[in-house]
């Protein structure tokens, strides 16, 4: 069964600190992996997309890594800000359909305290 598991479920950090969120998946065949940021009451916004051949990608203070062999990804947030408080969702796409089927994790709820 294709699944995406994220950990931790929730995380609280102090402003200015770094943190790393984890994503494990069993989706096969693999096409790409995305990290989305979802603010409360809003739609998800894409942070990074990585294909099979990419093992790291950065977007400002966000750096995503991908190990396609172990089917693991991480999202590292550097020098956290209050505005980073949101749910971070790992999404994996398979290669098996023209639709680009997406499998969503439940997200990690990050809270940044001042």
Residues that bind other proteins (CB under 8 A): 4, 31-32, 36, 41-46, 49, 51, 89, 93, 98-100, 102, 104-107, 109
CB contact at 8 A, 33 and 66? yes
**Cβ nearer to other proteins, comparing 29 with 100:** 100
Which residues make Cβ contacts (< 8 Å) with residue 113, sequence separation at least 6? 12, 13, 14, 15
Q: Burial of 109 by CB count in 10 Å (0-12 exposed, 13-18 middle, 19+ buried)?
A: middle
C-alpha 41/C-alpha 18 separation (Å) is 25
Least Å distance between CB 39 and other proteins? 9
Of 92, 78, 65, which Cα lies nearest the Cα of 13? Answer: 78
C-alpha 3/C-alpha 65 separation (Å) is 18
**Cβ nearer to other proteins, comparing 19 with 107:** 107
Least Å distance between CB 16 and other proteins? 27
């Amino acid at each position: 069964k294709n699944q995406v598991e994220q950990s931790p479920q929730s995380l609280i950090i102090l402003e200015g600190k770094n943190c790393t969120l984890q994503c494990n998946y069993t989706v096969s065949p693999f096409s790409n992996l995305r990290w989305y940021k979802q603010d409360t009451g809003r739609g998800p916004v894409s942070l990074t997309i990585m294909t099979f051949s990419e093992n790291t990608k950065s977007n400002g203070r966000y750096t995503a890594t991908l190990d396609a062999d172990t089917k693991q990804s991480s999202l590292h947030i550097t020098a956290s800000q209050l505005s980073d408080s949101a749910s971070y969702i790992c999404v994996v796409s398979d290669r098996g359909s023209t639709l680009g089927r997406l499998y969503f994790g439940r997200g990690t709820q990050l809270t940044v305290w001042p």
